[in-house]
Structure formats: C-alpha cells, structure tokens
Structure 1
Amino acid sequence: YAGMVSAYAKNDATTFNNKLRKYQDYLKNNGFTIELSKTGKEFAFNNFDPFYKCEILYVLAFLMACGGWLTLAKWPNQTAYYLIALAAVIHTCGLIFRMWLEGRPPVTNLYSAAVFVGWGAVILGLILERIYRDGIGNVVASSVGFVTLLVAGGLSLSGDTMEMLQAVLDTNFWLATHVVIITIGYSATFVAGFLAIVYVVRDFVANKMPFDKTNRSSLTKMIYGIVCFATLFSFVGTVLGGIWADQSWGRFWGWDPKENGALMIVIWNAAILHARWGGIIRERGLVAMAIFGNAVTAWSFFGTNMLGIGLHSYGFMDKAFAWLMVFVCMQIVMLTGGLMIGTLGQAGKPSVQKTGQSALGLPPLAQLAIEALVIVASFAVTIFYLLKALGIWL
C-alpha cells in the first residue's frame, strides 16, 4: 500500500498498477474476496452519482410546484409529485446500495445522516401531498430534499463518505435503532419547520395566491401532526441513545454536548405541544415555534459537533459554523416576519382596543418587537446558562 502511495505521488502508473495487483492478491489471500468484488460496483455507483440526479429532480419539482400555486392549474402540482416520487425512488436505491456496499444501516456518519434526513423529509412530504393534494407537500419535500443533499455534497468534500467506523460505532443493532429513529426525528422536525415557512410565505403573498381560512387550518394541522411525529421519534431515539451509552460508556446520561442537543429537540417539540394544548399559543404561535425548531435541530445536528468536546468525537467538525449561523439567522428572520405579518394583519380589524394599538396599549410594531426580543433573548439566555452550568461554554 505504501508503494502505491509513493507511485501515485510520483505519477508512476506502471509501478502503481504493479503494486495494486500485489495488494489485490494479498487481500484475496486474506479473506477479503467479497469486499474486492464490490469495488467495480462502487466505482459505477460513484460515476452514476444518484444523489446529484436527485438534486436536479428536486429543483425541477420545486419550480413546478411553485408554478402550480401561481397558475392555480393542477397539472404542475401533479407533475411535481411524480418528479419527487421518481427522485425518491432514486434516493432510496442510492441509500440501499450504500448499505449493501458498507454492510451497515443507512446512517454511519454526518454525510449519510444528511442524505437520510433528506430522504425522510421527502417521504413525509409525499405522504402529506397524497393526503391534502394542495402542493404544500411537494414544496416541502423538494426543498428539504434538495437542501439536505446540497449539505451532504459539501460534507463529501472532506473525504471518504464510506469510511471505516470507529470502535464505539461498530454495532449494527444500535445504528439500525437509535441512529435511524433519532434521524427520522430530525427529518420530521425540519419538515414541520419548513411547513411553517410555507405558511409565512403564503401569508406574505396572500394577495397573489389564495390563502383563506381553510388553507391556514389545513397547513396548521400538517405542522401540528408532524410535530407530534417528531416528538415521538426524537424522544424514543434519545432514550435508545442513552441505553447505548450505558452499554458503551457505563452511564445512561452524562450531559455530553451531543446528548444535550438531542434533549433540546425533545424539549422544544414538547414545549410546542404543551403550549398549544394549554392555549398559550395559537395558530401563528405554532408556526413561529416550528420555524425556530429548524434552528434548534440544526444546532443539535451540526453545532454540537463544532464544540470539539465530549465523547462523540467521531462526529467532530471544524468548519461550516458561518453557514450554520446564517441558517439560524434566516429562521429568526422568518419567525419575526411571520409574527409581524400577523400583527399587522390584525391591526386593521375592529376590536375593543383603540385602532392601531394592541391589548397592552402599544402600537403593533412595538409589541411585535418586544415579543420577538423576549422570545430570542429567553432562548439565548437559557442556552447560555445551560452550557455554562455543564462546563462546556467556550
């Protein structure tokens, strides 16, 4: 192997091929015949690049779905649905082929996690579209599918996407249970957040696209249902992770940054449901909290890996922090925009309050600014003191 590396560095093709044949003979004689038989198929798989083809199909489907909203015609949405279904088939085949090549469950590293999150979101979007047939499922499935595969493509630039697993991960049972289940929870939380973004965008352009009370109610039900689904899977996945940690490290819970990230998702989704059940938030509050769920999940998924501390060292990364912050800021902007549209929309309606004033006697924009500041500041202070108390504040 060292001879192959040296020959490659010197651009000596003859020596490289000779060393390669010797290395292949060595592997055959030491029981790696099955692995060697997969090399040609892996080469063909990489040349076909199924996930890049999925990205193209997702973009086309997104454009068709948006066109369906603008023209109010049915055929663009139907075309988008079939494009997404085709992409989902290719996406699924790509995942299955990777599983066969590795001999592992679908999620083994950050790259495969991003691919799987996108796949889960696409499947959920197709199910929503099949039920409601209003184009919203198409938009969410295509947008989340494209974005996650774009992220996966960026992660692939850092090296081998089918690398050898570290010893702590060398268990197909826990990779197939804890990792898959909690990743489905990530997918569902992102889907709920993107559905909420669709709500805000549709509300913003309501004068150009129909977005009546029925549409709002339907979209709110989608968000609520997906949040329930996300809460279940993120909770079960976190508990299974604790059991795995007990077997691997001798303790169920150690307040590791990655464990805290998983707990944040569970708590945030549970907070959404309890706030909804308790009447603390209504339709627009549900939308705002679901949007911020995107930021919570992105931090738990990628941000905790950037801290560079804890037992989950196999997932550490030292770049993309700026992009993570851009994504978080975008969610805050969308959240604030959603609240602002709602406040301004209510300002002109007759009520017992004085025109142009809220229940607190403040102008709508002033109350909106206070509400947004309280939400963001409360979350930031909570996270700061949590990290500080756990001794992981950088």
Structure 2
Amino acid sequence: MKKMVFFLLSVVFCFSAKAAPGDGLKYLPVQDGGRVKPYDSFAREMLEIVYGKTKFEKRNATEIVMTWMLAPQSWEGKKIFEVRNHQVLEALKLPKEQRYFTGAEIFGNERFTLLRQELQNKRESKEKLNPYFQALQRLENQFFTFQEIAAGRMLKLVPPVEGDAWISVSEMQPEQQEVFMEVTKAFVSHIGAMASEQSTAQTGADLDAALVKFQESAKKQNPVLYDHASKIRAEVHYNEFHPFRWSYILYFIAFTLLLLVWTLNKPGLSKAAWVFLIAGFILHTYGFGLRMYIMGRAPVSNMYETVIWVSWGTILFAAILELIYKFRVFLVAGTLVAAFGLVIADFAPAVLDPTLQPLEPVLRSNYWLTIHVMTITISYAAFFLAFGLGDLGLFYYLRGEEKYQHQIRSVVTGIYRSIQIGVAFLAPGIILGGIWADYSWGRFWGWDPKETWALIALLGYLAVLHARYAGMIKNFGMVVTGIITFSLVIMAWYGVNFVLGAGLHSYGFGAGGIEYVSAFVGLHILAVIYVAILRRGRNSSDKKSA
C-alpha cells in the first residue's frame, strides 16, 4: 500500500505547474495587506476583487494586473468589473442579465456617486450592512483597486531604508525607476511575443534577468526587510499546485471505489480506496503545512481555513473509527463530507476568502489560536461526520429498515461515537475560549453571540448523548438528531459570523452564501420529515397486515 500511495503522490506532483521563462515575475516580493507576498498572490487577489476570477480571457493575473498599471487606457472598453447584485444593477439602471461591465458603464454613471454617498451614510451609522450595501462596498473597492494600481500607488516593491511601509512604483527614486523601467520593457516584449505566438524563450529570459537586477537593487535598500525568498517560493508553489483541490479529487475517487465495493461486492477495491484516501489526506496535510509555514501560525483564523481544518478532521476521525469498528460506513461518510467541504471552499472564494491574511490584533497569540480555535473547530469535524452518517442512515431507512438493519446499527454506532468525540473537544474548547477571552477582553464569559451559540451546540449534543444513554432515543432518533443537531453547529460556525454579524468576534465576520446555507439546512429538514412520514406509514401497514 505504501508504494501505491507514493506512486500516486508522484503522479499528482508531476501535474503541478512547471517553471517557464518569464515566470520570475510571479516571485517578485510585494508588500500588501500587512505582509510581504509574491506578486503572483497580489495579482490573483486584485483580479479576483475586480473581475471575480483569477484569469481574464485565459490570461494569467500576473499579466493582466501589470498591464493595468502600464497601459490603463487600453482597459477602458473592457468589461472587467463584475456586478452580481441585482439591486445594485437596478440602482445603476444597468441590465440585470449582464454580469460584467466597463469602468465607464459603472463609475462614469452619474448614479454611482449618489450610491457611494448612500453607502458612506450607512457606514457612519455603524449598522450591519445588508447584501445590497455589501455589494456596493465591493463595487467601491473594485473602483479603488483599479485606480490605485493604474496610478502605481498600490504596487509596493521596494523596502524603505527606515520604517516598515514599502515604496510604491509611483514613489520610487529616479535610480529605482530606471531599473524598474527595464523590467517593464522586458515585460512588454514578453507579452508581445506571447500575443503573436512567437517563441518566448528569449523574451522570458530577458524578463527574468531584468527582475533579478531589480530585486538586487531593492534588496540593497534594506536586506532584512527583503529577506522572504523561501516563503515567496513556497507561496507561489501553493498557488499553482492547489493541494486542497487534489485532495478532494482523491477523496471523491476513494468514495466512488467504496460505493463500487458495495454495489459490485468486490472487497478487493477497499485497499484501493484506502490508497486514494491516504494520498488525499497526505496532500490535505501538506497544503495545511504550507499555509502554516508561509504565515507562521496555525491556519484557522477565518472561515475558509476552518472549513479546510474541519474537512481534515473529518477524514481523521472517520479513519480512526473505521480501523476500530471496520464498518466501512465511516469512510463512505467521511470521504463524502470532507470532499464536499473542500469543494465549497474551492468554488466559493467570494464567500470563503482563501487569501493568506495576517492575524487580527485580537488573535495575535499563536498559543491561544492553536489550542482554542483548533480545539473547538476540530469538534465540528466530529459533528460533521455524525451529520454525514445521519444522511447515510436516512438513505438506509428510505430503502428499507428491515433489509438494512445491520447497516443502520453500524451507522447509529458511528453517530454516537462521533458525537462523543465532538463533545470531548467542544467542552474544553469553550473553556479555553473563556480563558483567552479573559486574557484579551478582561472577562471570562459575556454571553457574546459566538460564545452563546457554542454553548447551545454543546448542550444540544449533550442532551442527545444523555437521551441515548437513557434509552429515550432509538436508532431512528439518533439518525435524525445526527442531522438536525448539526444545525446548531452551522449557526455557531457560520450563522454568527455571516448572518448575525454581532459581537466581539468581529474578526471572523463575513458576507454571502446565506441562501445556499439556508437551502442546505432546509432540504435536510424536509428529507428527515419525508423519511419519518414514510417510515411511520410502513410501520402502520406492517401492524395492520400482522
């Protein structure tokens, strides 16, 4: 099995991006967002803000964003500004069926100034912004981002002799401007060769040489502040390799193989499923380790990172329970829900921000971040596994309670054990959070919404465990509670930050996705009701026939 895992990982790494002439631009250090990052990350983030994607017309962000600064006039007629909110489109009197617009259509619109003033008034009142005002704020940010890059004020490439704030392109000294001019000339020649489909080997080499010369010049300003080469390389690799994307692909393959084991009755495929699961888990861990190395902290400071962490924990708990009980249902549920979490994280960047951001001041304690946040969120992984097993249990009840008695018992055992694991982490996680709150805010407990909903989730799951132990909840009840009680976790995990948006945990607040999460919860409640009604009808029929 080890040989198969290593072979599979080597194949995955072979498909990762190879360096090409001209790729040196990706590794150019830029100060942005409170940290030093590669130009590759900067360009991806800026294009994501403006266009909503990391590529434009199949061209990389590194090319696009540089041309915003070098030739902003060439973008006047390009539809690069994304607007998704229909209320904003209606307020600007733009067609609702359209998604991308030129700068003149939006920012040249006489109503845009009025909308900005409306947004400013809302911000001054310190009210929580609804989706309409959030969309307006994003539009304002798009306008600001493009203008600042075009003016050369946002691209900060040279460290200062004294202080921490780097020098932007527009503020460079004449000698630095001269060296940077060689970079821009080489860049223009390189993209010209690419556009005309000529060989880019020489132009790429020229660009790389000009970049090396510029970086040597910039480093002379302040060698200490410019010493980020290893982390810059690691971050570019992380951006190009997409370890979490490879992880969910491998998890889906493992899930598919496990289904084939059941449908084709071929236990031999179980070993192959384990191979893909282990390979996916290794890449999952590798991606997590990369983020830890780049940022120098535990990567659980925002919603995106906790989704990645919870998915990792789900696989870990599923594998442990599978090794103990050998029921196979654990791996089926674990691979499915872990892959689901990673897919959501990958395909919803507007909601779950995947960018690497420095810690908020209140979180700047690696010790407490590690032991509190990682402890409390790993409990969500166990509850997520119980939720996945609950879905599997519903499926068995739908197919026939008598026929699948053995499988249902296995599912119920898994739900019970998963909830026990979750409670064992959630309870100390809440206590540790109180200790951190006393350290940061001067009080142990203050009924903050985040604290309150974490406690509600804990009490809800404790009630399930006690009711099961007392015999008040039977097998079907455990399946139902495994699904329904997870709504408490969703509220504590997502709802407080994205729906309520209130309390001292404001560093975790976000926007978007409410309709999808509501539909997700609502559909599961409807599924539970449907199966419960169907089961009751079947039981009534059995009694009458008896």
Please state how far the C-alpha of 1:212 moved relative to its aligned partner.
Answer: 3.6
For residue 87 of structure 1, what is the aligned residue in structure 2?
A: 280
Match of 2:370 among 168, 173, 176: 176
Q: 1:273 to 1:314 in 2, by over 3 A?
A: same
Change (3 A) 1:175 1:75: same
Paired residue for 1:342, among 535, 539, 545?
A: 535
Q: Distance in 2 between matches of 1:280 and 1:213?
A: 19
Distance in structure 2 (CA, Å) of the matches to 1:49 and 1:128: 29
2:542 partner SS = coil
Deviates more, 1:20-29 or 1:36-45: 20-29
Aligned to 1:241: 433
Gaps of 5+ in 2: 1-29, 33-38, 40-45, 47-64, 72-168, 170-179, 185-209
Q: Does 1:291 align with 2:350?
A: no
Which residue number in structure 2 is paired with residue 200 of structure 1?
Answer: 394
Corresponding position of 2:187: none
Pairing of 1:347-358 with structure 2 (within 5 A): 347-350=540-543, 355=544
The whole-number CA distance in structure 2 between the counterparts of 1:144 and 1:77 is: 19
* 1:113-152 alignment runs, 5 A limit: 113-152=306-345
Is 1:61–1:81's contact at 8 Å kept on the other side of the alignment? yes
- Structure 2 counterpart of 1:57: 250
Q: 1:131 to 1:27 in 2, by over 3 A?
A: farther
Show the counterpart of 2:79: none
Distance 1:297 1:344, change over 3 A: same
1:93-112 alignment runs, 5 A limit: 93-112=286-305
Amino acid aligned to 1:184: I
Q: 1:26: how far off?
A: 5.6
Name the counterpart of 1:250. Answer: 442
| 1:316 lines up with 2:316 in the alignment | no
Contact 2:254 2:276 in 1 (8 A): yes
- Taking every aligned residue pair, what percent have the same amino acid on both sides? 30
Measured at CA, do residues 276 and 2 of structure 1 come closer, stay the same or move farther in structure 2, by a change above 3 Å? closer
1:11 paired to 2:70: yes
* Correspondence for 2:360 among 156, 160, 166: 166
Q: State the secondary structure of the residue aligned to 2:70.
A: coil
Call closer, same or farther: CA 1:341–1:232 in 2, change over 3 Å.
farther
Q: When the two structures are aligned, how many residues end up with a matched partner?
A: 351
- 1:286 is matched by which residue type in structure 2? M
- Which residue number corresponds to residue 277 of structure 1? 469
CA distance in 2, matches of 1:16, 1:182: 52
Secondary structure of the structure 1 residue equivalent to 2:358: coil
- Distance verdict in 2 for CA 1:265–1:219, change over 3 Å: same
Contact 1:190–1:293 (Cα < 8 Å) also in 2: no
**CA shift in 2, pair 1:76/1:124, >3 Å:** same
Q: Is residue 299–residue 305 contact of structure 2 (8 Å, CA) maintained in 1?
A: yes
Shift of 1:34: 4.7
Change (3 A) 1:166 1:271: same
- Whether the 8 Å contact between 2:304 and 2:354 is mirrored in structure 1 is no
Q: 2:413 aligns with which of 221, 225, 238?
A: 221
Alignment CA distance shift 1:76-1:330 (3 Å):
farther
Does residue 330 of structure 1 match 2:523?
yes
Mark the CA change 1:49 to 1:333 in structure 2 (over 3 Å): closer, same or farther.
same
Gaps of 5+ in 1: 357-394
Aligned to 1:390: none
Give the Å deviation of 1:88. Answer: 0.6
Alpha-carbon distance, 1:7 to partner: 6.2
Relative to structure 1, the CA distance from residue 202 to residue 30 in structure 2 (aligned partners, 3 Å threshold; closer, same or farther) is same
Distance (Å, rounded) in 2 between the aligned partners of 1:27 and 1:309: 47
Tell me the CA shift for residue 80 of structure 1: 1.9
Aligned partner of 1:9: which letter?
A: W
Quick one: structure 1 residues 171 and 300, their matched pair in 2 at CA, closer, same or farther if it must change by over 3 Å? same
Contact 1:77 1:138 in 2 (8 A): no
2:485 partner SS: helix
Q: Helix, strand or coil for the counterpart of 2:308?
A: helix
State the match for 1:368 in structure 2: none
- CA-to-aligned-CA distance 1:4-45 (integer Å, 9 cap, x gap): 999653236965947984698369726335534310221012
1:75 aligns with 2:268: yes
Distance 1:2 1:105 in 2: 22
For 2:478 and 2:217, how far apart are their aligned partners in 1? 58
User: Alpha-carbon deviation of 1:289?
Assistant: 0.8
SS of residue paired to 1:318 = coil
- For residue 478 of structure 2, give the secondary structure of its aligned residue in structure 1: helix
CA distance in 1, matches of 2:182, 2:382: 48
> Cα distance, 1:81 vs. partner?
2.3
Give 1:275 deviation, angstroms: 1.5
Q: After TM superposition, give the deviation of residue 191 of structure 1 in Å.
A: 0.5
1:200, distance to aligned residue in structure 2 (A) = 1.0
- Match of 2:443, SS? coil
Between the aligned partners of 2:478 and 2:67, the Cα distance in structure 1 is 57
Q: Normalization by structure 1: what TM-score?
A: 0.81
Q: Distance in 2 between matches of 1:27 and 1:273?
A: 64
Q: Runs of at least 4 residues of structure 1 off by over 6 A?
A: 1-7
Indicate how the Cα distance of structure 1 residues 225 and 134 shifts in structure 2: closer, same or farther if over 3 A, else same.
closer
Aligned to 2:460: 268
Q: Contact (CA 8 Å) 1:294, 1:331: kept in 2 or not?
A: no
Q: Distance in 1 between matches of 2:504 and 2:266?
A: 53
Q: Give the aligned residue type for 1:72.
A: N
Q: Check conservation: 2:314, 2:385, Cα contact below 8 A.
A: yes
